[in-house]
Amino acid sequence: MISAYPFDGQETTETQYSNLFRELQDSGVADTHGGAGFQVSGDPGGMNVFVQPGFAIVRGHAVVSTAVETVPVPPSGTSARTDRTILRLDPAADSITLEVLEGVPGGGLPALTQTDTGRHEISLARMPIDANVTGIAGVVDDREFAGLRVRGWTTDTRPTAPRKPQLGFNATTGRWEYYNGSAWEGLIPNPVENSTRWHGYTLTVSTTTPSGAPTTDRIWIQPVG
């Protein structure tokens, strides 16, 4: 049986939309890599974490937060553990919520639930919880960021406000390039005539001795035959 959707006058289910959008975009925070979207910080004076506003995709579903959210962390015990701050998709409850997954003392990171039709969780941060503490001092960023489409453009038609690290092919220069957060850089260093720079060294391929005095940062390769 073949089916297609969405069309006018046709009911489209939540599952169908989720199946469609998860093919268009990976799960993750929709922000520049390292941006503030859904960034987690600890509360040194209490057992809480603070989660910045953001937009994210969780297995084809969207979630948006417009204010800083305070999420309680379970009290510490007599042994150290590691917790996670997560976004949890629960289709049965029609919700995506911020939660803390409590780790088992000495058991490492708590496992994420990631099913294809039921609950699906993505991690935002890891929090080492020492024994007998009353505040959250350390938070390790654990966010994944929604994928960026690989596109093509000319120098004049580059994206005007790309996310780091947008990757694309520049038809003007004939080269792949990426956005480093402030400027466009070539994916491969621009070549010089018979020479290029690699890790601080000038690599020269020539059948004759290159001109200029030898230097400590130059490697010369002479083809034989």
pLDDT, the chain, mean: 88
pLDDT at residue 149, as a whole number: 77
The domain made up of 14-141 has a fold known as Triple-stranded beta-helix (2.60.520)
Domain map of the chain by residue range?
14-141, 148-188, 193-225
pLDDT at residue 78, as a whole number: 93
Q: Which tens digit of pLDDT belongs to each residue from 150-162?
A: 888 888 888 877 8
- Is the Cβ–Cβ distance between 196 and 220 less than 8 Å? no
pLDDT at residue 141, as a whole number: 93
Taking the C-alpha atoms of residue 125 and residue 49, their distance in angstroms, rounded to an integer, is: 10
pLDDT at residue 190, as a whole number: 58
| 3 state SS of 119 | coil
Q: Which tens digit of pLDDT belongs to each residue from 60-82?
A: 999 999 999 999 999 999 999 99
**What global pTM score does this model have?**
0.73
Q: Which tens digit of pLDDT belongs to each residue from 185-210?
A: 888 765 544 556 667 777 777 777 77
Residue of higher predicted confidence among 176 and 224: 176
pLDDT at residue 25, as a whole number: 85
Query: DSSP string spanning 124-173?
Result: EEEEEE-TT-SS----EE---B-----EEE-STTS-SSPPTT-EEEETTT
Q: Which tens digit of pLDDT belongs to each residue from 22-51?
A: 888 888 999 988 899 999 999 999 999 999
The token duo for 177 is 């390039």
Is a pLDDT exceeding 80 seen at residue 16? yes
DSSP class of 92: G
Is a pLDDT exceeding 60 seen at residue 115? yes
Half-sphere exposure of 34 (CA within 13 A, CB side): 4
pLDDT at residue 34, as a whole number: 84
pLDDT at residue 75, as a whole number: 95
Alpha helical stretches, state H, the chain: 14-24
